[in-house]
Amino acid sequence: MRPIFEIIALGNNCYTINERGRTVALVSSQGYIDWLLPSPADAGPLISEIRKETHMCYTLGLKILLITPTPATLLKKISFRIEEDGSRLVLTGYAESADGQFASTTIATLTADSIMENYLWNLETTLTCTATGPVELSGVEYNNVYPAHTGRCMLFTPYKEYNCTLVVDAEGVIWRFPHQHVMHYGLKFDPMHFAVGTLGGFFGDPAPNGCPVVEVQESTLEPFWAICDMFYDLHCQASVDEPVQPGTVWRFKYQIRYLHQLESDRLLTQSRPIPITPKDWQHFEYPRLELGMNRFTTAVNIDRADDASGFRQHPPQRVWDREIGHRTKGSLRLTNAVPEENIWVGEPPTQIPSETRLNITAMVKTEGVEGKGAFLRVRYHTFVWHPTPHVEYPITLESEPVKDTTDGWVKVTVPELNVPEAHFDYLIMLEVILDGKGIAWVTDVDVDLQYTAPELPSAQEGGLSKTIKFRSRSRAGAAPG
């Protein structure tokens, strides 16, 4: 059966794209498309309101842009039309850079495939240099695709849908990049070349809706891909080798679709793991931070899927101490030669599920610490689009500081964080801090997340969430039930 699309304005320049009583996608005032339903056969709610526009850590389906990330253009206008008796919907986003040097137009066409089994998007992005003189530009990013749940980090591990990204190079080699948060893949892409017809996308086992991919069909410039180590978003890019002249126009045509499971499995089977060298291990061997007890005896994995956050070392101020620990040999050592605030952040920050409570304790030892002392801090925050894009930090929680020279290890406790149902898109940033002069060691960081609602949340009117299958994890970090 052919789809019959309709687009409904929700106010504040936001829209829903509906089809036969279900919402297929959301369109935000920032130029983000949140694609919820891969197939006409999928069930889903009819969304009547948007409580919050999609952002990096709050994507319900698959995020697609009507703007360009590089050069960064800001949406000025959205237009739409419905063609072919409703079976074809065309969105157009008009955007300009804040400095007036570039303008972009992205036409995104939503249809169904020839057998009416899957929806798909055909996009064309045109980028024009509107500057009065040459502009230095290292490259172009004409879109950025981001899947739900993959970048939510250690507190959202049970939600994983994909565990790796595949990209196909100009020689037809399929490269597999595991999802992990520590090693950035920039240098891995430098020797690679790509061409029209190559694709990149998100894969895993299982992938209940198939695997979403982007295939480049036309490109004025040589295309290439990049992957963020923090959120796993797939950067759709192209090379720029010389200053951009006024009036230059680039065009990129590409298709975004979900592969059938057999095709997804074939590509995954034929893929090669991206080489991880001894130098990579040496440079990116950071102590891991995860649910449960963290005694800092093991590192974050960079050669396979890993949702743990990591503590990036910065000797001599921040060092992974392999000899000193509470129960085992492992701790974070912070050293200040002069009085200052030395902050060691668990990266990246992790989104925290609503209707949960978070308790964090740790063991701390200090030597000659003068000043406020050593402590843990949780910064609870969220991204807000309006009136201007910014991050809000409504709650900051700190354990009692430890100073002087302790007689052994001292237990510290961060006040409990309770996340209400309304906070469906909040994150936490865990910081280990030495404020003052001296040396401090921190270990046995126990991250305990408990679910507080009597029942599991489910899909809601208003597009607040998909069906969620969250189970709390024990202090020991046992796998979810």
Q: Is the pLDDT of residue 458 over 50?
A: no
Phi–psi pair at 195, nearest 5 degrees: -150, 165
Output the pLDDT for position 469.
30
Give the bridge partners for 253, in sequence order.
124, 218
The type of residue at 154 is M
Report the alpha-carbon distance of residue 58 to residue 61 in Å, rounded.
9
pLDDT tens per residue across span 462-480:
333 333 333 333 333 322 2
Let me know if residue 253 belongs to a domain.
Answer: yes
In a domain, 463, yes or no: no
Instruction: Report the chain's mean pLDDT, rounded to a whole number.
Output: 90
Percent of the chain residues past pLDDT 90, beyond the cut:
78
351 and 284 together in one domain:
yes
Provide long-range contacts, Cβ within 8 A and 24+ apart, for 97-101.
Answer: 97/71, 97/72, 97/73, 98/72, 98/74, 100/130, 100/131, 101/71, 101/129, 101/130, 101/131, 101/135
If asked whether residues 389 and 338 sit together in one domain, one would say yes
- Rounded to the nearest angstrom, the gap between the alpha carbon of residue 149 and the centroid of all alpha carbons in its chain is 8
Q: Same domain for 360 and 267?
A: no
Query: Total domain count for the chain?
Result: 2
Indicate the burial class of 477 (C-beta count within 10 angstroms; 0-12, 13-18, 19 or more).
Answer: middle
Instruction: Give the pLDDT confidence score for residue 197 in this predicted structure.
Output: 92
Q: How far is it, in rounded angstroms, from Cα 57 to Cα 72?
A: 20
Residues 66/91, Cβ–Cβ less than 8 Å: yes
Q: How confident is the model at residue 56 (pLDDT cuts 50, 70, 90)?
A: confident
| Residues 75 and 168 occupy one common structural domain | yes
301 and 230 within one domain: no
Query: pLDDT-derived band of residue 376, with 50, 70 and 90 as boundaries?
Result: very high
Q: Would 474 be classed as within a structural domain?
A: no
Residues 283 and 204 in one domain: no
Is residue 137 located within the same domain as residue 261?
yes
- pLDDT reported for residue 460: 37
Give 405-443 pLDDT, tens digit per residue.
Answer: 999 999 999 999 999 999 989 999 999 999 999 999 999
Q: What digits encode the pLDDT tens for the residues 61-107?
A: 999 999 999 999 999 999 999 999 999 999 999 999 999 999 999 99
Q: Say how far residue 379 (Cα) sits from the centre of its chain.
A: 18
Residues 128 and 261 in one domain: yes
Q: Containing domain of residue 72, as a range?
A: 5-273
Which of 21, 98, 100, 35 has its CA nearest to residue 66? Answer: 35
What per-residue confidence (pLDDT) applies to 156? 77
Domain boundary (273, 302, 330) is at 273
Residue 235 has pLDDT above 60, yes or no: yes
For residue 373, give the CATH number of its domain. Answer: 2.60.120.260
Final residue of a structural domain among 244, 273, 302:
273
Give residue 280's pLDDT: 93
No. of helices (H) and no. of strands (E), the chain = 3, 29
Determine the pLDDT at residue 157: 66
**Dihedral, CA of residue 46, residue 57, residue 63 and residue 31, to nearest 10:** 90
* Position 476 in a domain: no
Which CA distances in Å does 379 have to 96, 307, 342, 345, 431? 34, 20, 16, 11, 8
175 pLDDT higher than 70: yes
Residue 116 and residue 199 in one domain: yes
Pairing of strands 390-398, 318-321: unpaired
Same domain as 306, residue 232: no
CA dist list (Å): 199 to 87, 176, 237, 262, 401: 26, 12, 12, 17, 51
Residue 393 has pLDDT above 90, yes or no: yes
* CB half-sphere exposure, 12, CA atoms < 13 A: 13
**Residue range 16-37: average pLDDT?**
95
Residues 94 and 25 in one domain: yes
Q: What is the C-alpha to C-alpha distance for residues 323 and 210, in angstroms, rounded to an integer?
A: 46
Query: What is the pLDDT confidence band of residue 5, given thresholds at 50, 70 and 90?
Result: very high
pLDDT for 463 equals 34
- Nearest Cα to 362, choosing from 344, 337, 335? 344
Q: Which residue matches tokens 């998100």? A: 202
* Average pLDDT value for residue range 224-247: 91
Where does residue 153 fall: left (phi above 0), alpha (psi -120 to 50 degrees), or beta otherwise? Answer: left
Report in angstroms the alpha-carbon separations of 147 from 168, 209, 211, 249, 371.
19, 12, 10, 29, 45
